[in-house]
Amino acid sequence: MSDSDIVDAARKFARVFGETDTASDVASALACLEADALADVLRACGRDASAEAWLDFHAEADDEGDTHWDRHGNSEEY
């Protein structure tokens, strides 16, 4: 697999997973590291707003002291 194949795959991933409908259904099931990794790919592909939406939906399931706890309650904005 060439670098351009990887870039194409990352862009496709970001386009598909950039849908906030998916984030609201799935993000709460992710571990903090998984949510951060997904958000990193979205940001790298220029989808910063989608990355923030994923982390906010994910944060709803975080417990106090977890990585994204300080974002808890932000998902109502989307």
Q: What CA–CA distance (Å, rounded) separates 27 from 24?
A: 6
Q: How far is the CB of 16 from Zn ion (least distance, A)?
A: 22
> Does residue 41 touch Zn ion according to CB under 5 A?
no
CB–CB of 59/75 below 8 Å? yes
- Whose CA is closest to 74, among 46, 45, 54? 54
CB–CB of 23/38 below 8 Å? no
> Does residue 32 touch Zn ion according to CB under 5 A?
yes
Size of the site for Zn ion (CB under 5 A): 5
Residues 1-30 that bind Zn ion (CB under 5 A): none
State which residue, 27 or 45, has the beta carbon closest to Zn ion. 27
Q: How far is the CB of 39 from Zn ion (least distance, A)?
A: 10
